[in-house]
Amino acid sequence: MSATPQKNRASRRVLAAAAGLVTVGALVAAMPAGAHDRGHGHGGGHGHGHKPRTVDVQLLSFNDLHGNLEPPAGSAGNVSKTHPDGTVESIPAGGVEYLATSLRTARQGNPYSVTAAGGDMVGASPLLSGLFHDEPTIEALNKLDLDVTAVGNHEFDEGATELARLQNGGCHPVEGCYEKGKKFKGADFPYLAANVTKEKTGKPLLKPYTVWKKKGVKIGFIGVTLEGTPDIVTANGVKGLKFHDEVETINKYARELDRKGVKSIVALIHEGGAPASTSYNYDCDSPGAGDGISGPIVDIAKGITPKVDALVTGHTHQAYVCTVPDPSGKPRMVTSASSFGKLYTDTTLTYDRRTNDIVRTSVKSANHVVTRDQPKAPDMTRLIDRWNKLAAPIANKPQGWISADINGRGSTAPEKPLGNVIADAQLEGLAPADKGGAEVAFMNPGGIRADLVHKASGSEGDGVVTYGEAFTVQPFTNMMNVVDLTGAQLVTALQQQVSGPNEASPKILQVSRGLTYTLDLTKSGADRVVAGTIKLNGEAIDPARTYRVAMNEFLAGGGDGFPALGQGTNKLVGASDLDLFNAYLAAHSTATAPLAPPATDRITVIQ
């Protein structure tokens, strides 16, 4: 999901990117094993002299891990399941120790098993991974036996050079090697970026596709990120790069693979949709194929050549297993496994040895919960312990106290309690004349990567907010900007929350204390923001007046579909968003007087 990207500046980047172990949507084979080539009986030809015509290939997949090596805390670490009687159960899920166990268990008895991911494995990561520029997550993915992943938008948070280092290895150019005598080896799986080219040469930044082979079985994987990546990543992150149409790119490389004799093809796409229910077991093919899902992936799926046999998707952090008709009208599997390693997808691809193609009518798929009641993978526990020891001096430092959970990522409301705290922190820190003279602050919702959870995550005690927890909420360490905007530009910016590129999926800015307005969701487009209700400290916004507005550098650059915010002038660069957040926690809480969740009464919502 879009979020404020972070830049690679050693001085400010003590920690990197916020929370989200890529959803372990490992697509695992779910069909009967009847045609497995196991080397005995009817499966392998021993005593029969021939191989069976078809073999079941297990595709395990996940997406949007976002460096969540430890189980995500609070509501962000739960998945919803709807039972036949209509009741909804919330299941704690995720954590790479459990993801590893789930994937390894799923592979048992499946000699043809391949594991793929849909992007955003790193970036916006909790401190345990982000502090070390996501080297711990790449190391964990190597141990998980990931075979291939697409790039996501967050793979570009620190730019193409850092992405190349994650792929190829080598110690960080500024911070060096984190462990004495150990050089970072890089990913032992390919990152695919078919629709990302270098502006100067026009050549692909990374490999566009790879072919997985086993005992004569060949499956091609094409990987793309969303074409709109430059709109949701800082300009430095995508400098010198061009992002192309997902459908055209996949179709181009599918033709190339086909010419090379690779007839079985899976597309890994870092773009997704929204199912009608947030329950992971929702049937989005009810009543008809793909009827229960909306969003960009639907049109993408309908445009991708029938040569592609299945789509593994991501970006929206949703869970779904749907069939969407291909251009010839035939159903084709489209899957996504939520986020943060809470689910994996298990897909069975029946491979026809005579045609070298997938029997599309036999494709089966299901999402499975990465539950926390299974054994932890010991190698992942050791990895987490090793990196935690290195992070501890910074991560465990108390920043403040809270009296209860303050929900951010886990809140589905337009106005989030943690969003209010963050916006208030930015306003307070930048209101002094010498700090920018801010009168109002805006925070993009995608930049809030977690909840503040009251229950202790370690030995710090309940209610204590550690640096690591604060970092997990705001991992990008974006620099704050204060700019001049007219009242008219302010009104336009608020309308851009629900119009233009944000009309189909609104991005409701979190606003600082004093700004109020009505959001009427019964209307459409820009009219959903009722212009006459917008007030600052009780006074109507004056279109001709100039206001000093605080926001992170990502929003100040017009990111997330807010071009009006990019029109600011007289810019002053302030402290980082994380520094202001921590300063606010320190100023407004003590052990005996913890910070309480604020009221959410700034945006009046009409449903």
Q: Which pLDDT tens digit goes with each residue over 172-202?
A: 999 999 999 999 999 999 999 999 999 999 9
From 47-56, 507-516, 544-553, the region with the lowest mean pLDDT: 47-56
Cβ–Cβ < 8 Å for 339, 363: no
Q: Is the pLDDT of residue 225 over 50?
A: yes
**Omega of the bond leading into 287 within 30 degrees of 0 (cis):** yes
Q: Residue 352's pLDDT is what?
A: 98
- Asked if the model's pLDDT at residue 5 lies above 60, the reply is no
Question: DSSP label at 329?
Answer: S
Amino acid at site 561 = G
Q: Which residues pair with 603 in a beta bridge?
A: 517
pLDDT band at 129 (very low <50, low <70, confident <90, very high): very high
Lowest mean pLDDT of 42-46, 242-246, 342-346, 600-604, name the range: 42-46
Q: Are 16 and 5 in contact (CB under 8 A)?
A: no
List, for residues 434-454, the tens digit of each pLDDT value.
999 999 999 999 999 999 999
Strands 148-150 and 191-192: parallel
Average pLDDT on 484-510 reads: 97
Looking at residue 303, its pLDDT comes to 98
Residue 38 tokens read as: 């196991």
Query: How far apart are the two ends of the chain, measured CA to CA in Å?
Result: 24
Q: Which of 21-30, 201-210, 385-394 has the lowest mean pLDDT?
A: 21-30
DSSP state of 176: B
Question: Residues 166-169: contacts with CB within 8 Å, 24+ apart?
Answer: 166/122, 166/134, 166/135, 166/138, 166/191, 167/191, 167/206
Beta bridge partners, 32, equal none
- Burial of 372 (C-beta count, 10 Å sphere; 0-12/13-18/19+): middle
Which of 228, 172, 148 has its CA nearest to residue 195? 228
Whether the CB-CB separation of 9 and 160 falls below 8 Å is answered with no
DSSP string for residues in 7-18: ---TTT-SS---
State what percent of residues in the chain have pLDDT above 70. 92
Decide if 206 contacts 165 (C-beta within 8 A). Answer: no
Structure tokens at 465: 């907010």
- Residues of the chain with pLDDT > 90, as a percent, come to 90
Q: Which residue has the tokens 């930049």?
A: 447
3-state helix, strand, coil in the chain (%, to 5): 25, 25, 45
Tell me the two tokens of residue 26.
């490992």
Q: Which residues contact 214 (CB under 8 A, 6 or more apart)?
A: 111, 112
Task: Give the residue-averaged pLDDT of 59-87.
Answer: 96
Query: Under a CB-based contact definition with an 8 Å cutoff, are residues 215 and 37 in contact?
Result: yes
Give the β-pairing of 569-576 and 88-92.
Answer: unpaired
3-state secondary structure of 115: strand
Q: Beta strands 78-82 and 88-92: pairing type?
A: antiparallel
Residue 109's pLDDT band (cuts 50, 70, 90): very high
pLDDT of 6 reads: 41
On whether the CB atoms of residues 136 and 383 are closer than 8 A, the answer is: yes
Q: Over range 282-295, report the average pLDDT.
A: 95
Residue 606 forms beta bridges with which residues? Answer: 520
CA distance 572 to 560: 21
Residue 182 has a CB neighbour count (10 Å cut-off) of 10
Contacts for 201 with CB less than 8 Å, ≥ 6 apart: none
Average pLDDT in the 214-228 region?
97
**What's the pLDDT tens digit per position in 379-389?**
999 999 999 99
Q: What is the DSSP letter of 590?
A: -
Given a cut of 80, whether residue 4 has pLDDT beyond it is no
Question: pLDDT (tens digit, 9 = 90+) per residue, 327-368?
Answer: 999 999 999 999 999 999 999 999 999 999 999 999 999 999
Residue with tokens 């993408």: 300
pLDDT at 49: 54
pLDDT of 46 > 70? The answer is: no
Full DSSP string of 72-96: PPGGGGEEEEE-TTS-EEEEEB--H
Q: What is the torsional sign of CA 284, 288, 290, 293?
A: negative
Q: Can you tell me which residue has the tokens 């306003």?
A: 427
Query: Above 90 in pLDDT, residue 48?
Result: no
* Residue located via tokens 């279109």: 543
Alpha carbon distances (Å) from 539 to 487, 515, 533, 542? 12, 9, 10, 9
Q: Residues 109-123: what's their mean pLDDT? A: 98
pLDDT at 28 over 60: no
What pLDDT is recorded for position 32? 33
Please state the φ and ψ torsions of residue 78, each to the nearest 5 degrees.
-115, 150
| pLDDT at residue 216 tops 70 | yes
Using alpha carbons, select from 222, 204, 210, 199 the residue that is nearest to residue 163: 204
**Residues listed for the chain:** 607
Q: Is the pLDDT of residue 511 over 70?
A: yes
Q: Give yes or no for a contact between 565 and 442, defined as CB atoms under 8 angstroms apart.
A: yes
* Cα(358)–Cα(136) distance, integer angstroms: 36
